[in-house]
Amino acid sequence: MKRVGIIRYPGSNCDYDALSYFDNSFFIWHTETEFPENIDLLVIPGGFAFGDRVYNKATDLYSIEPGKMAIESPVTAIIEEAVKRKIPILGICNGFQILIQLGLLPGSLLLNKNGKFTCKQVNCWAHYEPENENIYKTKMYIANSYGRYTISNDLYLNLEHNNQIFLRYGEAIDEVNSYNYVAGVCNKERTIFGMMPHPERNNVEFKSVLYKLLFPNDTQINTQMLFHKKVMELMHSEHISYKSTRKYLKQLHTKEPWVIQGPGENAGIVDIGDGYSIAIRIESHNHPTFIDPFEGAATGVGGILRDIFTMGARPIAVLDFLRFGTDEHSQKLLQGAVDGISYYGNCVGVPNVGGDWYLGETYNKNPLVNVGCLGIVKNDNIIYGNATEEGQQLIYVGSKTGNEGIGGAAMASAVFGSNMNMDKMKTNVQKSDPFLEKLLLEACCEIAEQKLAAVCRIWGQEDFYVLHTK
């Protein structure tokens, strides 16, 4: 992982944001002069260094000149040494202003056209592979008073010719009025970068693009950042985080003396007496069914079965709650979903005992497939999903990883538009394998009966892991 130094000036207010945004980062105070060891990237964050006010001696008269006082700090020696060593430097907002004051980047940053501090989310286009004309479109926040980038037309044409404009606004920002929508520039050697938008403010996905800009030839870091991006997409998806429904789910009734396990595990557990309990779980497989109705619905059944038997319970019943549209396409989706549900349940040997279905125009573009499962388990055989002690051995069990990888769960939370490539989207839908799952089911029930596992947790979309002590 790259080691990132973040310069702090008196008055910086984005320093901790930058520290959180860049992994393996540390602060460099503005009075330091000794060059840090093993540093890979130097970041100058935003935040009004020294207040950007230049006072006239001991009077109350001052002028606003962003970056002017900052360049007189001793830490400038570290910046200059980084330039000599060709270590990448990134200036964000006020950091961009400081790099221009030092003469390390061309152009000027003047008072915004509206004469005010402007804070808003804007569209941005990042040109991260100029030779391939690759453009990454995203949204970032601007927060500045002196963010109007200006430059002579001749110098601007030179920047364009040398591919030094790596970031533009997606449309005119009238309050700012930067020259030709310029939002970020770099030097000719592409080692020094300055940008006005703040990537550290709620734009985690842009980090992978930013690292491609800063380390274009480092395949390892680009692979790491791609992995990080995919994981963040996954963790911020509705499928995993329940970011929009959590507040409603918290209102559900979950605590009673007979409730052994409420939310937070693979499945809920309800005591039914005589030393036995029922494991119960329900989940949706809406998007996958819309893309590929047979596989989407079939793997919905497979997923809910795994939620049950990883608790040590044997699945005994499946239920389906279906909502489909009334047009011709919806009828095809419904038939494919029913075929997928019956195929998977029959192969595994778990009966579909009930459910309900409704048809309505509102579901023409968004069918709902909710699958529930019941399982029975001895109270002594219940397996939970959290490690109990250090030194437990991890065993990873399941099918081979398909092309869908972790993209399947993120896809399940995506918003579909009319321009979606449905054939390409099918690669994100799991391929069902009920015969293998039947083997996993029996193995897990046997593990529970013999009490070989301390922990069992479903992991991903087609497998699970166990921790055992024997």
Q: Please report the DSSP string for 198-211 in residue order.
A: BTTTT-TTHHHHHH
Q: Which of 136-150, 383-397, 416-430 has the lowest mean pLDDT?
A: 416-430
Q: According to the model, what pLDDT value does residue 409 have?
A: 60
Mark whether 179 and 298 lie in a shared domain. Answer: no
Give 49's DSSP letter.
G
Q: What is the CA radius of gyration of the chain?
A: 28
Is pLDDT at 142 greater than 50 in this prediction?
Answer: yes
The pLDDT-based confidence of 232 (bands split at 50, 70, 90) is confident
Choose one of 176, 205, 235: the last residue of a domain. Answer: 235
pLDDT given at position 318? 95
- The reply to whether 75 and 172 lie within a common domain is yes
Cα→Cα distances 142→117, 197, 331, Å: 10, 5, 48
Is the domain of 227 the same as that of 333?
no
For 87, 316, 350, 380, 395, the CA distances from 456, given in Å and listed in that order, are 46, 19, 21, 15, 10
> Is the separation of the CB atoms in 6 and 49 below 8 Å?
no
Q: What is the CATH number of the domain that holds 421?
A: 3.30.1330.10
Instruction: Using the predicted structure, report yes or no on whether residue 468 has a pLDDT greater than 60.
Output: no
Residues 247 and 204 in one domain: no
Give SS3 for 294: helix
Q: How confident is the model at residue 453 (pLDDT cuts 50, 70, 90)?
A: confident
Statement to judge: residues 218 and 278 lie in one domain: no
Residue pair 304/370 in contact (Cβ under 8 Å)? The answer is: no
Say whether 330 sits in a helix, a strand or coil: helix
Mean pLDDT of 8-24: 91
Tens digit of each residue's pLDDT (9 = 90 or more) over 176-209 = 999 999 999 999 999 999 999 999 987 777 888 8
Tens-place pLDDT, residues 365-393: 889 999 999 999 999 999 998 887 888 88
Is the CB of residue 270 less than 8 Å from the CB of residue 280? yes
Shared-domain flag, residues 209 and 290: no
Of the candidates 47, 44, 42, 41, which has an alpha carbon nearest to the alpha carbon of residue 14?
A: 47
Q: Could you tell me if 226 and 319 lie in one domain? A: no
pLDDT of amino acid 205: 79
> Is 1 a residue whose pLDDT tops 90?
no
pLDDT interval class at 470 (50, 70, 90): very low
Structure confidence by residue, pLDDT tens digits, 396-415:
887 776 666 556 666 665 66
Band of residue 462 on the pLDDT scale cut at 50, 70, 90: very low
Give me the pLDDT at residue 73, please.
93
Inform me whether the pLDDT recorded for 9 exceeds 50.
Answer: yes
Q: Which structural domain range is residue 283 located in?
A: 242-468
- Considering the domain architecture, whether residues 33 and 175 belong to the same structural domain is answered as yes
CATH of residue 149's domain is: 3.40.50.880
Instruction: Examine the fold and report which residue of 193, 211, 235 is the final residue of a domain before the chain moves on.
Output: 235
331 in the same domain as 303: yes
- Amino acid symbol at 112: N
Number of domains observed in the structure of the chain: 2
One domain, residues 107 and 173: yes
Residues 189 and 312 in one domain: no
What's the rounded mean pLDDT across residues 436-450? 92
pLDDT, mean over the chain: 88
In this prediction, residues 132-144 reach a mean pLDDT of 87
Side-chain half-sphere CA neighbours of 166 within 13 A: 26
The pLDDT of 352-366, averaged and rounded, is 92
Count Cα neighbours of 254 within 13 Å in the Cβ-side half-sphere. Answer: 15
Structure tokens belonging to residue 397: 């069990």
One domain for residues 378 and 273: yes
Last residue within a domain, chosen from 235, 256, 286: 235
Taking residues 289-295, report their average pLDDT: 90
Closest CA to 120 of 220, 196, 180: 196
H-helix or E-strand containing 229?
helix 219-235
